[in-house]
Amino acid sequence: RNLFSPPAAILHVEGDEVIRRAEFGTTTGHESALDAALTAAGAVYPSVPDATADEVTAYYEQHGARLPTLVFTALGAYTGLSIDQDAAQAGNLPAVHLLTP
C-alpha cells in the first residue's frame, strides 16, 4: 500500500516477472506499454540531466498538482480499467492481477 499523498510510485510487472518502479512523473525506463501510456497522458515530467534543476523545479511548481490525475489517466488507458483515484490514494483499492494472453 502506498501511504503517501499522492502515492509516490507505481510497481509494474511485465511478462518477464521483473518488478519495475515508476515514480510519479517518471517512467519505468524499460520502454514498456505502461511507459508509453504515461508519456501519452503527459504524466512524464522533465528531469535532470534533460533539463536544469531550476527548470525541473519550475515545471513541478506549475504542473505538479495535475500529476496524480495524469498518472491515473495513464493507468486507466494502459489497463482498460476505470481506477478510482480517491480510493487508491486512501489505500482502499484492492490489488488486481491482470493475466495477459
Q: What is the pLDDT of residues 6-31, one digit of tens each?
A: 557 888 888 888 999 998 889 999 99
Residue 75 CB neighbours (<10 A) = 21
Q: How far apart are CA 20 and CA 17, in angstroms?
A: 9
For the chain, report the end-to-end CA distance as a whole number of angstroms. Answer: 27
Average pLDDT value for the chain? 83
Please give the average per-residue pLDDT across 83-97, as a whole number: 74
Single pTM value for the model: 0.76
Q: How far apart are CA 36 and CA 63, in angstroms?
A: 20
